[in-house]
Chains A and B, each alone.
Chain A
Amino acid sequence: MSTNTAQTSRKPTVPPRSEGADLELKGITKRFAEFIAVKDLDLTVPSGTFFALLGPSGCGKSTTLRMIAGLDAPSEGEILIGGKNVTSLPSHQREVNTVFQSYALFPHMTVLENVAFGLKRKKDKKAMEKAREGLKMVELDHLANRRPEQLSGGQQQRVALARALVNRPQVLLLDEPLGALDMKLRRQMQFELKAIQTEVGLTFIHVTHDQEEAMTMADVVAVMNEGRIEQMGAPRDLYELPKTAFVANFLGKSNLMRAHVVGQQEGLIEAQAAGCKVLVPVERAVQHEGDIVIGVRPEKLHLHREAPQESTGYNELSGQVIDVSFTGTTTEYLIEVPGIGRIGTFSQNRGQQPAQMGDTVYLSWDSAHSFGLAGDEVVDAGVDQT
């Protein structure tokens, strides 16, 4: 098992003042009776990173978070925060705070008392003062004396965030904190959360099943499936070069086709898929011979009414349009390619309509956009999972 180390391919943006600490998980396994929620997980999150754990429900991401918080004990393995082994420390002795999915605000306390709770437990003499500052940061200082039940969902969410943040923990954990909010508020809170993280420079671990949320907010995304991390990296790297079918399908959409490698030249693997020649760069393929799976993202495809002129380095397929759906900014097409299956693509709505139901169309894409997966992948793994 290789150690996943979070490294962004972008320039390493050093946070202005990093107060967070490195988080390290070593060989973490969590068993519940017969069910294994997390399997031998190794993970290092450098301090000051906005890290997203992304995966469908039941993939073990929330369990991982609870183990970091100290609410569940791992069956095996060690948890280190800032280099210190905290595996056996109870939650109240860990410099970690959580924003819970349910918010878990104390209903018998005012908003201000809620935010001051952690500071008071640490005997902070300026607890109230800091709590007020915390409320100001989430722009709720005018509601300090209200009860949580008198607040809207979005406001409660911000109180929960302030309550965790004011303690300036080494690691801040967010368990699907935006799950209960409506779309518009969600977008706004995503933006605010990211801004706050940049401002305070703490290490954020954000658990979510929303791939768009993970990609917009996080510096590093780890895609989890069945208790393991499938792939980890900067959102763009993960999207552009998925290493497994699950990542290809769960993070955005992908067209995956089975192919057989017939040769290799000039850094390109040549494969046959149902009689068509498909090229994929060697460095973008997980496997280089035998049966493989070749993938391409829908937006990388060009749609033609007539057979395009053959150009080097381009892959071409043809098929029949079996579904057209108008989504506003784009029109989505589903094309049945004989022997390969259904390929999805879309075109921007700029006045033209390139194809209609039943039309025979041609698809082409720059082979540099192809990616190659192992031949034993399940092609629809992770499709429509949340």
Chain B
Amino acid sequence: MSKMVMTKKGKIADLRSAEEIKAERRKGRTGVYLVVPGMLVLFLFFALPVIVLLSMSLYARPEGAEIGEFVPALEFGNYVTVLSAYWSELVRSFGFALIATVLALLIGYPMAYLVAVRLRQHGLLQGILLVLLIAPFFSSFILRTQAWKQILADEGWVAQTLKLIAVLPADGHLTATPFAVVAGLTYNFLPFMVLPIYANLGRLDTRLLEASGDLYASPMTSFFKVTLPLSAPGVFAGTLLTFIPAAGDYVNAALLGNNRNTTMIGQVIDSRFFKVIDYPGAAALSFILMLSILILVTLYIRRFGTKELM
């Protein structure tokens, strides 16, 4: 609360006592104290590891050194080496992530719309569906991905049905294909798409849809002219929350893919770190992945972003 008044001379006088001013400064400092623990955690577990990773990515392997032995250096060549060796996995990762994001949007939007808008008057049903939506989080990510292996197995009903209607050749497989990996990614990240859209559509003022109908818009037109544009922030958040982790994912590719045409960049980093023990290479790839996502996301925000996120 400020106690400023205009004096006769037209100057602004501060009528607060010295104690009050001190109290206000203390309040200001309290804010700073509250931020410190968070900053400390961020520094220890985010900033510091990033710095370590960055320096590691520039380490060099001396002639005749043992496996896993590296010396500090400024070996920028590491980046060139890994990029030229693994650019196709990088591109594939973004390709898979993009397809999975689009599929998750196409599947997730109607789900979110059903629960948030259509079932608004049916609290119980809405609650049940919402729980079902979140329920997968209660079981392990790995386990759920393994389950997809069973669903898509040659003996499974999906593959059998597809063979029956001749979409899949008689000797075809679903597992160990790019299809299986993308399906897994789509499934695993679907809730991240649905929940932000659901939260957004939950706030949709359906009176606007009545107004749009009143102004000669068919339900379809109302959707594309009113509902969809108004839910753009939710779609935007959902696509980012799906695309970013999907691009860096390696579990789906490892469990549902093969060794030929499904390898994603996450797998490469994993094997560089833990199998080949090429720390600088793995660190460099991690950085490339991080930077590429950053660039893509920035471009995306620039193009479609809403003010709230900028």
Contact = CB atoms under 8 A, between A and B. Distances in A.
A122 B218 CA distance: 11
Contacts of B212: 106, 117
A121 B216 contact: yes
A22 B182 CA distance: 60
Contact of A97 (B208, B214, B218, B219): B214
A106 B211 contact: yes
Contacts of B226: 106, 108
A104 B207 contact: yes
Interface string B215-256: 111110100011001100000000000000000000000000
Given A100-B207, A102-B207, A121-B221, A108 B229 contact: yes
A90 B216 CA distance: 9
A108 B230 contact: yes
Nearest to B217: A121
Secondary structure type dominating chain B contacts? helix
Interface string A136-159: 000000000000000000000000
Nearest to A123: B216
Contact of B214 (A92, A105, A106, A122): A92
Contacts of A98: 211, 214
A91 interface: yes
Contact of B215 (A90, A107, A108, A167): A167
Q: Which of B210, B214, B225 has the most CB of A within 10 A?
A: B214
Contacts, number: 61
B35 to A, nearest CB: 32
Contacts of B217: 92, 117, 121
A106 B227 CA distance: 10
A98 B208 CA distance: 12
Nearest to A121: B216
B213 interface: yes
A281 interface: no
A71 interface: yes
A100 B208 CA distance: 10
B216 A122 contact: yes
Contacts of B69: none
Interface in A227-245: none
B229 to A, nearest CB: 5
A102 B209 CA distance: 13
A117 B221 CA distance: 11
Contact of B208 (A90, A92, A106, A164): A106
Contacts of B218: 92
A261 interface: no
A152 to B, nearest CB: 20
Contacts of A164: 214-215
B207 A91 contact: no
Given A104-B205, A106-B226, A107-B230, A71 B210 contact: yes
A118 interface: yes
Contacts of A163: 215
Contacts of B215: 92, 97, 117-118, 121, 163-164, 167
A104 B217 CA distance: 14
A69 interface: yes
Nearest to B226: A106
A118 to B, nearest CB: 4
Given A104-B205, A108-B229, A108-B230, A92 B216 contact: yes
A96 interface: yes
A104 B230 CA distance: 13
Contacts of A97: 214-215
B208 A167 contact: no
A93 B215 CA distance: 9
Nearest to B218: A92
A107 B231 CA distance: 12
Given A92-B218, A118-B216, A104 B229 contact: no
A122 B210 CA distance: 17
Contact of A92 (B205, B213, B229, B230): B213
Interface in A84-103: 90-93, 96-98, 100, 102
Interface string B71-104: 0000000000000000000000000000000000
A103 to B, nearest CB: 8
B235 to A, nearest CB: 13
Given A100-B207, A104-B207, A91 B230 contact: no
Interface string A55-79: 0000000000000011100000000
Interface of A: 69-71, 90-93, 96-98, 100, 102, 104-108, 117-118, 121-122, 163-164, 167
14 contacts: A70-B213, A71-B210, A91-B213, A92-B216, A98-B211, A102-B205, A102-B207, A104-B210, A104-B211, A106-B208, A106-B212, A107-B208, A108-B226, A117-B215
For the complex of A and B, the 3 pairs showing the least CB-CB separation, nearest first, are A118-B215, A104-B211, A121-B216
Interface of B: 205, 207-208, 210-219, 221, 225-226, 229-230
Given A92-B214, A92-B218, A167-B215, 16 more contacts: A69-B214, A71-B214, A90-B213, A92-B213, A92-B221, A97-B215, A100-B210, A104-B205, A105-B211, A108-B226, A108-B229, A117-B215, A117-B217, A121-B216, A121-B221, A122-B216
